């Protein structure tokens, strides 16, 4: 069998070409940027620009930006791209920098293009069921705004109170509700994109249907700023569902919990949420929040329904959990109790980070039928490397988030953390999965993307990149 952790057996990524043989002087670049931007929109003080150097990913190199720009209009973004194209300066688009793959990390001498000031909700249309937004709109702000009109924007990453719609589009993010409602890509109907040379491209449409031409909209979703800069989006909305009720089921083994997931999905049930937390995660959440979650169980499964009458669905799922070996099955009595359980799930990653001071969050998605092998295999990897690895998962769609806890000040522990991270990704590919279900590739998984795509896939990706960004200035060094 081919060793998926051995880089000599797979095509590796080649380094991104330097956009400029002779980069412009800092003063020349700043002057050129300020020619089309307000004075306060161009930041050059290293003490300030350094704060924009990286996202939340571990083990990802970050350079020193020459400047950070904070445009407020499409025309200002176009000016930045025209300027950087003329001067051959790399551009790194950024949202809220909540990403976990290094996709927003600066490169030396780049212009960081922060889009957080473009934060207007331009339109909410209840008849067409769309919202038109700028990229800096925070996910939670959009969700609350459309809820006031009886509508619902389903994608809800765990960082939804901070992450932006532009960042969600760049990484094709998901969230807790994906099992029923799908991921960001399924809600992006159209985009306004500024290309590397400053031209404005409009893709997609406002209509519910439309198949004219290639689907360029889907091409940009998940491209991590490597093909163009999203400056506007038309998003599909749904009618607001009833408040969901959650059922919590405790299991003596993670394999039993995964068996329950398979039974639920095979039974034709459509939960609005189906999440798994292992014992390590439960203990970490209790330590951080004092919520009193059960620590004696090996896995906790949360299942929710947002139907008008969720009681029959919860009862049926409860029976399936008992058949799979659940020791306790407790449905929430009301929406408040349900929200408390969901708060515990959303608290998982920061709680795990507190265990050793740092975490590497993996993002391996496998077929649901192989979820138990993924979770148990991760436990074996944790034992092999002598590390604490907590697993939370969007179990309904097979998307696991093994989180490697480590002490960043300990070189040996950091080395083992990185090696265990790679072993987990290798396991995911062996099980027929993918290296990322929603976090993106960025810097962290560049070599693994090449292994997953294969040489033909990498060649075609590079060809597409060449069409959109012939000078290679857009987010160089990311993806491949």
Q: Are residues 252 and 186 in the same domain?
A: no
In a domain, 452, yes or no: no
Q: Which of 50, 83, 117 is the last residue of a domain?
A: 117
Q: What is the pTM of this model?
A: 0.91
Within this chain, do residues 412 and 297 fall inside the same structural domain, yes or no? yes
* Helix and strand numbers, DSSP H then E, in the chain: 15, 19
Residue 443 lies in a domain: no
Do 405 and 272 lie in one domain? The reply is yes
CA pair distance 80, 71, nearest whole angstrom? 9
**Residues 259, 269: Cα–Cα separation, whole Å:** 15
- Number of domains, the chain: 3
Sign of the CA dihedral with 225 first, then 227, 231, and 233 last: negative
Buried b (16+ CB within 10 A) or exposed e, 409-421: eeeebbebbbbbb
379 and 266 together in one domain: yes
Residues 6+ apart with CB under 8 A from 375: 254, 255, 258, 276, 278, 391, 393, 400
Indicate whether 449 belongs to any domain.
Answer: no
- Angstrom distance (rounded) from CA 195 to CA 479: 18
Residues 271 and 386 grouped into a single domain: yes
Q: Strand pairing of 42-43 and 67-69?
A: antiparallel
Q: Are residues 261 and 382 in the same domain?
A: yes
pLDDT tens, the chain, 480 aa long = 333 333 333 333 334 444 545 678 889 999 999 999 999 999 999 999 999 999 999 899 999 999 999 999 999 999 999 999 999 999 999 999 999 999 999 999 999 999 999 999 999 999 999 999 999 999 999 999 999 999 999 998 888 899 999 999 999 999 888 999 999 999 999 999 999 999 999 999 999 999 999 999 999 999 999 999 999 999 999 999 999 999 999 999 999 999 999 999 999 999 999 999 999 999 999 999 999 999 899 999 999 999 999 999 999 999 999 999 999 999 998 889 999 999 999 899 999 999 999 999 999 999 999 999 999 999 999 999 999 999 999 999 999 999 999 999 999 999 999 999 999 999 999 999 999 999 999 999 999 999 999 999 999 999 999 999 999 999 999 998
pLDDT at 21: 52
In DSSP terms, 246 is beta-bridged to 304
Q: Are 278 and 375 in contact (CB under 8 A)?
A: yes
Name the phi and psi angles at 289, rounded to 5.
-120, -15
| Residue 218 CB burial class (10 angstroms; 0-12, 13-18, ≥19) | middle
Together in a domain, 257 and 365: yes
Query: What CA–CA distance (Å, rounded) separates 383 from 377?
Result: 10
Residue for token pair 């189906």: 274
Query: Where is the domain boundary, 192, 221, 239?
Result: 239
The pLDDT value given to residue 10: 35
Which domain range does residue 52 map to? Answer: 7-117
Whether residue 102 is found in the same domain as residue 198: no
Residue 2 within a domain:
no
Residues 280 and 332 in one domain: yes
CATH number, domain containing residue 155: 3.30.465.10
Rg of the chain, C-alpha, whole Å: 23
The answer to whether residue 437 sits within a structural domain is no
Last residue of a domain, one of 204, 239, 274: 239
Q: What DSSP line would sit under 344-374, residue for residue?
A: HHHTHHHHHHHHHSEEEE--EE--GGGHHHH
Measured CA to CA, the distance from residue 196 to residue 219 in angstroms comes to: 16
Pairing of strands 111-114, 91-94: parallel
């Amino acid at each position: 069998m081919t060793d998926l952790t051995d880089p000599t057996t797979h095509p590796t990524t080649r380094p991104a070409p330097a956009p400029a043989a002779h980069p412009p002087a800092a003063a020349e670049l700043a002057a050129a940027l300020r020619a089309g931007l307000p004075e306060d929109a161009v930041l050059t003080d290293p003490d300030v620009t350094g704060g924009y150097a990286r996202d939340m990913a571990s083990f990802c190199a970050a350079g020193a930006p020459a400047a950070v720009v904070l445009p407020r209009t499409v025309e200002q973004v176009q000016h930045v791209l025209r300027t950087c194209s003329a001067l051959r300066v790399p551009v790194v688009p950024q949202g809220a920098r909540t990403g976990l793959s290094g996709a927003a990390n600066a490169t030396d001498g780049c212009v960081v293009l922060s889009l957080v000031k473009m934060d207007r909700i331009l339109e909410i249309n209840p008849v067409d069921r769309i919202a038109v937004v700028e990229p800096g709109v925070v996910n939670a702000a959009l969700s609350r705004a459309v809820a006031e009109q009886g509508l619902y924007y389903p994608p809800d990453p765990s960082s939804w109170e901070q992450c932006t719609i532009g960042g969600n589009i760049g990484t094709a993010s998901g969230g807790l509700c994906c099992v029923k409602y799908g991921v960001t890509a399924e809600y992006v109907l159209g985009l306004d994109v500024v290309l590397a040379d400053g031209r404005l491209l409009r893709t997609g449409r406002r209509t519910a249907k439309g198949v004219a031409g290639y689907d360029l909209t889907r091409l940009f979703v998940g491209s991590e700023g490597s093909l163009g800069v999203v400056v506007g989006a038309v998003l599909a909305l749904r009618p607001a569902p009833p408040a969901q009720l959650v059922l919590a089921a405790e299991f003596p083994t993670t394999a039993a919990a995964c068996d329950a997931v398979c039974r639920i999905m095979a039974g034709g049930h459509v939960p609005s949420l189906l999440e798994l937390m292992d014992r390590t995660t439960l203990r970490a959440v209790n330590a951080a929040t004092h919520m009193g979650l059960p620590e004696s169980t090996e896995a906790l499964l949360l299942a929710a329904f947002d139907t008008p009458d969720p009681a029959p669905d919860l009862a049926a799922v409860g029976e399936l959990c008992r058949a799979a070996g659940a020791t306790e099955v407790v449905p929430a009595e009301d929406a408040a109790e349900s929200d408390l359980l969901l708060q515990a799930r959303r608290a998982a990653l920061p709680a795990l980070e507190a265990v050793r001071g740092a975490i590497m969050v993996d993002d391996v998605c496998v077929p649901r039928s192989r979820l138990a092998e993924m979770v148990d295999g991760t436990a074996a990897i944790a034992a092999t490397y002598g590390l604490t690895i907590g697993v939370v998962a969007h179990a309904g769609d097979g998307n696991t988030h093994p989180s490697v806890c480590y002490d960043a000040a300990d070189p040996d522990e950091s080395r083992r953390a990185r090696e265990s991270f790679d072993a987990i990704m290798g396991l995911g590919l062996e099980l027929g999965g993918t290296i990322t279900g929603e976090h993106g590739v960025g810097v962290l998984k560049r070599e693994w993307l090449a292994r997953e795509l294969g040489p033909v896939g990498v060649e075609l990706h590079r060809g597409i990149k060449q069409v959109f960004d012939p000078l290679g200035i857009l987010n160089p060094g990311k993806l491949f």
